[in-house]
Structure 1
Amino acid sequence: MQPIDPPTQPALPPPTPAAAPPKPRNRRTRLILAMVGGIMALLCLGGVGVFISFYDEATKIERKAPDAVVDSFLRAYLVNRDDKEASLFTCKSGPDLSRLDAFRTDIQSREQRFSIGIRVDWTSLQVSTDSGKTTVSTDIRRAIADGSERTTDGWRFPMVDDDGWRVCGAEPVS
């Protein structure tokens, strides 16, 4: 009997060193990144809150003093000619502004007819209270932009304190 040769096996290449396993992320680095991200998010949200607070305060309509309300109303109605803004300072029940509207219409028609600019301003505002009714008085001045002509008219503005002071009318002083 002949000895049986063991089966020959093909030669295997020499073993190569195994690739190093990927380094696990450092838990401390992840924790620090998460904390920094969280703090940044809180700072951003806090900044938005502060911005909204400052914006709200800056755009708040002040109606604490009757003379300040009339000043804001005249600026909106006669200078800026913005009825929407002026309505923020008037009575909720509908003010009687027909005479002041005619005054403003006269200014606008003169500007168009004569191709001039008319500047409107007013003197100091006097607040008076008589029998529980508050009125603000002032002289409204109209001047041609080049200064060649100026007129002054006295006006009285009845006021009411309804969730802050509001203009309820406008009447010329005779």
Structure 2
Amino acid sequence: MVRSAKWRKIFLVLAIVVAVAGTGGVIAAVVSYNEATKIDRSNPKVVLDEYLRAALIEKDKVGVDLHTCDDPVGLAPIGSLREEFDRRERDFGVVVLVTWGAMTGETSGKDSAVTTTLTISGRKDGAVISKRSETWRFTLVESDGWRVCAARQMPEPAPSATASP
């Protein structure tokens, strides 16, 4: 009987060690997953890049919501642009692709304004059939990380008149 009690204690201790190690492993895995999938809102340009990807490429409403202000009414122009893309794809049987270039901006306290050029191309059967570029300015606010709050298309600069001799 003494031997049986001793083995029970050994098995009990081993079971506790395995349970604690398993729990620690699960906690470590959850923390690692959380860090790997955490949204980076530390830089306005990174947030804008993720917002544009969600809004104009992936059509991901959840992704858009993760990167916008509580009241995103100022982002209606981007919504209209996305609707234009959808309408052109449907009406003309094309694929609309959008890319953006370098982002420039200035940050002052909790406000940031970032400008980028969107290049919009229409493709049919793999060939580019139309292409245009538009300059857009985005307003971001720091609110528990940067959030995109407004967008507006900038007017194209007027061609400069040059005198000919």
Gaps of 5+ in 2: 156-165
Structure 1 residues 132, 73: closer, same or farther in 2, change over 3 A? closer
- How far has the Cα of 1:29 moved from its partner? 2.0
Residues 49-69 of structure 1: CA distance to partner in whole angstroms, max 9, x if unpaired?
011101211221221100001
Does the Cα contact within 8 Å between 1:95 and 1:167 map onto a contact in 2?
A: no
Is 1:152 the counterpart of 2:152? The answer is: no
Is 1:128 the counterpart of 2:106? The answer is: yes
Gaps of 5+ in 1: 1-22
- How far has the Cα of 1:116 moved from its partner? 2.1
Q: 1:59 aligns with which of 37, 42, 57?
A: 37
Is 1:84 the counterpart of 2:62? The answer is: yes
Structure 1 residues 34, 132: closer, same or farther in 2, change over 3 A? closer
Residues 17-63 of structure 1: CA distance to partner in whole angstroms, max 9, x if unpaired?
xxxxxx77533322221122111111111111011101211221221
For 1:124 and 1:61, the matched residues in 2 are separated by 21
Secondary structure at 2:150 match in 1: coil
For 1:163 and 1:131, the matched residues in 2 are separated by 13
Aligned residues: 152
Residues 119-140 of structure 1: CA distance to partner in whole angstroms, max 9, x if unpaired?
2221111122479842011111
**Amino-acid identity (%):** 30
TM-score scaled by structure 1? 0.79
For 2:7 and 2:107, the matched residues in 1 are separated by 71
- How far has the Cα of 1:162 moved from its partner? 1.4
* Deviation >3 Å, runs of 4+: 129-133
For 1:131 and 1:32, the matched residues in 2 are separated by 61
Larger-Rg structure: 1
Q: 1:170 aligns with which of 127, 133, 151?
A: 151
For 1:25 and 1:117, the matched residues in 2 are separated by 77
TM-score scaled by structure 2? 0.83
C-alpha RMSD of the superposition:
2.1
Structure 1 residues 144, 33: closer, same or farther in 2, change over 3 A? same
Does the Cα contact within 8 Å between 2:110 and 2:141 map onto a contact in 1?
A: no
The structure that is helix-richer by fraction is 2
For 1:82 and 1:129, the matched residues in 2 are separated by 27
